Amino acid sequence: METEPGGSFYPLYESLILLSSTPILGVGIAFIVLLLLLFSSAMVSGSEVAYFSLDANHVDGLKNKPDKTEERILSHLEQKPYLLATILVVNNFINIAIILVSAYILGNLLPESWNEYAKFSIEVIFVTFLLVLFGEVSPKVYAGSHNVKLARTMAQPLEILSKITYPITIFLVSATTIIEKRIEKYDLQQVSMEDIDQAIELSVTDTQHAKQEIRLLKSIVKFGNVSVKQIMRSRMDVTAVEQDTSFHELIKLVRESGFSRIPVYDDNSDNVKGILYAKDLLEHLNKPDDYNWNTIPRPAYFVPETKKIDDLLKNFQEKHVHMAIVVDEYGGMEGIVTLEDILEEIIGEIQDEFDQESELEYRRLDDYNYIFEGKTMLNDVCRVVGLDTTTFDEIKGDSDSLAGLILEIAGRFPKTKQVISHENYHFKIIEADKRRIIQVKITLPKGNTPMQIMHQ
């Protein structure tokens, strides 16, 4: 090919030199290039939303139409990390090109007499407006409602772009995988319960029901960590009936107790034989006193005291039962747990027409002083006084009642009127006998005003 001035190539070369030296023509071409770049940015940016908003129904629809376009889309979805890397790499290159072309256009259009800072500010505002409106917001809004259509349109272009950018995307995906493994190794992704509690308190709006909302959300978060032993009713408070009880005495016991389900035992309460449902007695009310009612009770459901209540709730749903007998490691009866006990752990105390005014016996003297029975569960105590249910976890050992906590702190059986202290919490023994702590006065630290979340 001739390159001399008299040759065939020289006129074309001269025309290109003339074109580049003419600002108006250069700006016009740059403007056309800018439009093409903006369109490309919009398509690539929108494809990110289009692909990653495809749900199972969309995927099933694509599988039912096995052509090349659908196969490409499904192939991309199977390798989402590489798809995302390709989109981000291509989009960043296009955005850089948009910035350079926009700077060239504005540099030729703005008067030379303008201050450099003014020119720079206008360039930043102009480029930001173009990228945000035409390169991000508009295409992503469109892609959200036309995801399948846009995914079909971009299937082949993305396949070509993925091959071009493969050396870069493989490096990015590999580096990301290494970082994720390091994060998992050092447990940086784990969030403490304190962080979750703080997030809940910050997220709940300041309304008249804010305290109840906070308590409810915290209860749900901690629901899976609560064991049956923490919410059960101890065997001392369980109303049970022996198999040898006469039918007349049984009816009297059911009426006086008001319970709809009563454990039935043989000889002693460790030998539970079944659960008597009060409704099952209705058709037998006219039977004589010597009627053998031992065929009425239903089989009992036994659970260990260490079982988590979220698992127990699932078991209740599967077995269609509302009560379980809690047993220790030796098979002895520790107490009972009901569906109502589990629900109360989330939503608070539930009162029905047969309950007393308050099953939880306590007295509130003021914001910092309360009197509880020693047998009261620590979870209930904490909820009443507004403390976190994990407040005494480090000191309580295996105990789950207020009396058990005091014994753990004191290391011996305390005397009446003796005060046992732990940090800024003070426990005064109001009443005790030789075997158990009956009543305790709790004095809370003056620094923290407790939330009265159980006073409903």
Lowest mean pLDDT among 18-27, 233-242, 265-274, 288-297: 18-27
Q: Which of 185, 218, 234 is the last residue of a domain?
A: 185
Using the predicted structure, report yes or no on whether residue 6 has a pLDDT greater than 50.
no
- Quick check: 378 and 256 in contact, CB under 8 A? no
Contact in structure between 326 and 333 (CB atoms under 8 Å): yes
Q: Are strands 362-364 and 419-422 parallel, antiparallel or unpaired?
A: unpaired
- Total domain count, the chain: 3
Residue with tokens 């260490």: 306
**For residues 218-233, average pLDDT:** 78
What mean pLDDT is predicted for residues 292-296? 90
267 torsion bin: left (phi>0), alpha (psi -120 to 50), beta (else): left
Report residue 175's pLDDT band, with 50, 70 and 90 as the boundaries: confident
Q: Do residues 84 and 122 both lie within one domain?
A: yes
Query: Could you give the CA distance from residue 116 to residue 395 in angstroms, rounded to a whole number?
Result: 68
Whole-number Cα distances in Å, 250 to 278, 335, 354: 10, 21, 18
Same domain, yes or no: 334 and 402: no
Same domain, 174 and 55: yes
28 with 176, same domain? Answer: yes
- Domain of 411: which CATH number? 3.30.465.10
Q: pTM (2 decimals)?
A: 0.47
Tens of pLDDT, residues 240-284: 999 989 998 999 998 888 888 999 998 888 899 999 999 999 888
151 three-class SS: helix
Q: Which amino acid is at 3?
A: T
Going from the C-alpha of 301 to that of each of 80, 231, 235, 273, the distances in angstroms are: 47, 17, 16, 10
What's the whole-number average pLDDT of the chain? Answer: 79
- Which of residues 15 and 112 earns the better pLDDT score? 112
At residue 289 the predicted structure's pLDDT band, cuts being 50, 70 and 90, is confident
On whether both 260 and 395 belong to a single domain, the answer is no
**Per-residue pLDDT at 360:** 64
Q: Where does a domain end: 153, 185, 217?
A: 185
pLDDT higher than 90, residue 299: yes
Cα 416 to Cα 222, 369, 403, 404, 432: the distances in Å are 35, 18, 13, 16, 6
Buried b (16+ CB within 10 A) or exposed e, 144-164: eeebeebbbbbbeebeebbee
| Same-domain status, 421 and 286 | no
269 with 150, same domain: the answer is: no
| Predicted confidence (pLDDT) per residue in 358-369, tens digit | 456 788 888 889
Is pLDDT at 82 greater than 60 in this prediction? Answer: yes
Average pLDDT (204-212) is 62
For residues 328 and 425, membership in a common domain is answered with no
Place of tokens 């569906």: 339
Confidence of residue 141 (pLDDT cuts 50, 70, 90): confident
Q: What is the mean pLDDT of residues 133-152?
A: 84
Pick the last residue of a domain from 185, 212, 235.
Answer: 185
Task: Name every residue whose Cβ is closer than 8 Å to that of residue 157 and which is 6 or more positions away in sequence.
Answer: 43
The pLDDT, as a whole number, for residue 455 is 33
Helix (H, G, I), strand (E, B) or coil at 269: strand
User: What is the model's pLDDT at position 4?
Assistant: 46
Residues 114 and 41 in one domain: yes
C-alpha dihedral sign at 185, 186, 188, 192: positive
Write down the pLDDT at residue 127. 82
Question: What is the chain's length?
Answer: 456
Which residues constitute the domain of residue 45?
A: 16-185
Quick one: pLDDT at residue 267? 84
CATH number, domain with residue 300: 3.10.580.10
- The pLDDT, as a whole number, for residue 274 is 92
What is the spatial distance between Cα 381 and Cα 370, in angstroms, rounded to a whole number? 9
Q: Give the residue with greater pLDDT, 197 vs 424.
A: 424
Q: At what angle do helices 56-63 and 68-78 cross, to 10 degrees?
A: 140
Radius of gyration of the chain, Cα coordinates, nearest whole angstrom:
37
pLDDT above 50: residue 456: no
Cα separation, 216 vs 346, whole angstroms:
6
Kindly state whether residues 55 and 160 are assigned to the same domain. Answer: yes
Residues 265 and 373 in one domain: no
Mean pLDDT of all residues in 141-164: 86
Average pLDDT over residues 172-179: 82
Distance CA 199, CA 188 (A): 17
- What's the DSSP call for residue 333? E
User: pLDDT class for 116, splitting at 50, 70, 90?
Assistant: confident
Q: Higher confidence at residue 174 or residue 347?
A: 174
d(CA 410, CA 415) in angstroms, rounded, equals 11
The answer to whether residue 386 is domain-embedded is yes
Give the confidence band of 454 by pLDDT, cuts at 50, 70, 90.
very low
Query: What pLDDT sits at residue 5?
Result: 47
3-state DSSP call for residue 211?
helix
Residue, of 22 and 34, whose pLDDT is higher = 34
Cα–Cα distance between 446 and 219 in angstroms, integer?
A: 25
pLDDT recorded at residue 357: 46
Regarding whether 133 and 235 lie in a shared domain, the answer is: no
Please indicate, yes or no, if residue 452 is contained in any of the structural domains. no
Q: What is the crossing angle of helices 68-78 and 147-164, to 10°? A: 70
pLDDT at 325 over 90: yes
Check residue 147 and give its pLDDT: 83
